[in-house]
């Protein structure tokens, strides 16, 4: 029994194992589907940008997002600090927009518009000069010379009484260069063309608007930066003084009242002088031009001093009185400089 069982076991051990069943080949349909899936995966991009995911981007397995500190103050801060941060952001945005406009103005469109304005203004100036020297009335040249000597105190007392309206106009014309000096310095200095403003202001003491308009043609904003030491020196210290502005306004009002109290005969005589005299005709036209240009320079000065929504701009349309009142009530550059310095120190803290 034992021998027979051992021989059976040996026979089983040497017996061949059964062959595995053959694996069924995939059908042609399944093979085509698998090949299509592999081809699609190979052609697809490795990283897909999500629509609307401008704030984040993927690099490998990491996701890079914007800094949370740029999204505003944390929720635990009080409302006042949040409003201050928003105001600072608005001011920064306004400054960036102004810088962008300034840089864009150097392009073709900005240069074209600047040149167009300059050419038109130069044409107006040339036309005015042609009118004054060629077309204006000139019936009394000798009397004009006599009036000029009397107004300059070069003619002695000969018993002739000067017209009160003409005297008031003459002295107001002497105040206009000071008003324009306070408007143009330092907020209307030209930085791009490197044209100084002071020679035109000096010539305006003789030529009035006829000497200032060439600077308006050449003027290119923005003005150069203002230094604190510069504000404490001549002439800005004098031009920024409220005492200077108050004296100019008081003198102007006094001269206007003096002309308003003149008799009707004086006004009729002045109108007759205007129709006959080139000197008086050109002086009246000069006063009109200075009054017409002053609201623009008031607006330019308001923009430089960050004055918003002020009633002084429409008031500046009043000849001489409006610009003089603005010069008296405008904030000084020194106070604005101190405010900006303190705000920058707070931001650094």
Parallel, antiparallel, or unpaired for β 56-59 and 62-65? Answer: antiparallel
Q: Count the residues in the chain.
A: 349
Least confident segment among 32-36, 98-102, 107-111, 287-291: 32-36
| Per-residue confidence (pLDDT) for residue 265, from 0 to 100 | 95
Q: Above 60 in pLDDT, residue 9?
A: no
Reduced to 3 DSSP states, what percent helix, strand and coil does the chain have, rounded to the nearest 5? Answer: 65, 0, 30
- C-beta of residue 321 within 8 angstroms of C-beta of residue 254: no
Q: Above 90 in pLDDT, residue 223?
A: no
Per-residue pLDDT reduced to its tens digit, 323-334: 999 999 998 887
Residue with the larger pLDDT of the pair 196 and 249: 249
Could you tell me the pLDDT band of residue 26, with boundaries at 50, 70 and 90? very low
Residue with the larger pLDDT of the pair 2 and 129: 129
Could you tell me the pLDDT band of residue 234, with boundaries at 50, 70 and 90? confident
Give the angle 218-221-226 at the CA atoms, nearest 5°: 120
Residue with the larger pLDDT of the pair 215 and 309: 215
Least confident segment among 93-107, 133-147, 181-195, 290-304: 93-107
| Per-residue confidence (pLDDT) for residue 343, from 0 to 100 | 56
**For residue 294, how many other CB atoms are within 10 A of its CB?**
24
| Per-residue confidence (pLDDT) for residue 195, from 0 to 100 | 85
Nearest residue to 299 via CA among 215, 221, 197: 221
Could you tell me the pLDDT band of residue 10, with boundaries at 50, 70 and 90? very low
Per-residue pLDDT reduced to its tens digit, 171-184: 999 999 999 999 99
User: Stretch 327-346: mean pLDDT, rounded?
Assistant: 73
**For residue 32, how many other CB atoms are within 10 A of its CB?**
11
Per-residue pLDDT reduced to its tens digit, 68-115: 333 444 444 455 666 666 666 666 555 555 544 444 444 444 566 678
Nearest residue to 261 via CA among 162, 165, 161, 160: 165
Least confident segment among 36-40, 120-124, 193-197, 316-320: 36-40
Helix (H) or strand (E) holding 103: helix 79-104
**Against a cut of 0.85, is the pTM above it?**
no
User: Stretch 298-302: mean pLDDT, rounded?
Assistant: 94
Q: Tell me the percentage of the chain whose pLDDT exceeds 70.
A: 63
Least confident segment among 12-16, 162-166, 272-276: 12-16
| Per-residue confidence (pLDDT) for residue 336, from 0 to 100 | 73
Q: Is 54 helix (H, G, I), strand (E, B) or coil?
A: coil
| Per-residue confidence (pLDDT) for residue 346, from 0 to 100 | 53
- C-beta of residue 178 within 8 angstroms of C-beta of residue 184: no
Could you tell me the pLDDT band of residue 228, with boundaries at 50, 70 and 90? confident
Per-residue pLDDT reduced to its tens digit, 110-124: 566 678 889 999 999
Alpha carbons 107 and 217: distance in angstroms, whole number: 19
Nearest residue to 302 via CA among 289, 290, 314: 314
Nearest residue to 239 via CA among 197, 181, 297: 181
| Per-residue confidence (pLDDT) for residue 40, from 0 to 100 | 40
| Per-residue confidence (pLDDT) for residue 70, from 0 to 100 | 36
User: Stretch 244-265: mean pLDDT, rounded?
Assistant: 96
């Amino acid at each position: 029994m034992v021998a027979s069982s051992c021989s059976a076991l040996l026979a089983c051990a040497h017996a061949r194992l059964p062959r595995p069943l053959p694996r069924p080949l995939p059908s042609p349909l399944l093979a085509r589907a698998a090949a299509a899936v592999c081809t699609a995966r190979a052609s697809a991009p490795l990283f897909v940008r999500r629509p609307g995911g401008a704030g984040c981007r993927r690099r490998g397995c990491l996701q890079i997002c914007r800094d949370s500190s740029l999204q505003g103050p944390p929720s635990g801060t009080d409302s006042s600090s949040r409003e201050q941060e928003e105001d600072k952001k608005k001011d920064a945005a306004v400054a960036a927009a102004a810088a962008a406009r300034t840089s864009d103005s150097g392009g073709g469109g900005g240069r074209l518009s600047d040149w167009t304005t300059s050419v038109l203004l130069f044409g107006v100036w040339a036309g005015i000069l042609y009118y004054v020297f060629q077309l204006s009335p000139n019936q009394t040249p000798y009397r004009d010379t006599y009036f000029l000597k009397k107004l300059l105190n070069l003619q002695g007392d000969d018993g002739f009484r000067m017209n009160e309206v003409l005297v008031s106009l003459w002295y107001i014309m002497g105040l206009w260069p000071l008003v324009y000096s306070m408007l143009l310095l330092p907020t209307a200095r030209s930085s791009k063309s490197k044209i100084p403003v002071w020679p035109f202001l000096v010539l305006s003491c003789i030529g009035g608007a006829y000497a200032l308009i060439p600077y308006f043609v050449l003027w290119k904003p923005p003005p150069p930066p203002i230094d604190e030491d510069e504000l404490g020196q001549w002439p800005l210290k004098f031009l920024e003084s409220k005492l200077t502005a108050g004296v100019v306004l008081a003198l102007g009002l006094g001269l206007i009242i003096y002309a308003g109290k003149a008799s009707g005969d004086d006004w009729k005589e002045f109108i007759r002088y205007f129709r006959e005299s080139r000197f008086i005709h050109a002086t009246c036209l000069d006063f009109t031009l200075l009054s017409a240009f002053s609201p623009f320079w008031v607006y330019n000065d308001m923009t430089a001093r960050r004055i918003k929504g002020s009633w002084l701009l429409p008031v500046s349309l009043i000849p001489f009185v409006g610009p003089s009142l603005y010069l008296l009530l405008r904030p000084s550059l020194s106070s604005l400089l101190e405010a900006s310095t303190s705000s920058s120190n707070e931001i650094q803290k």
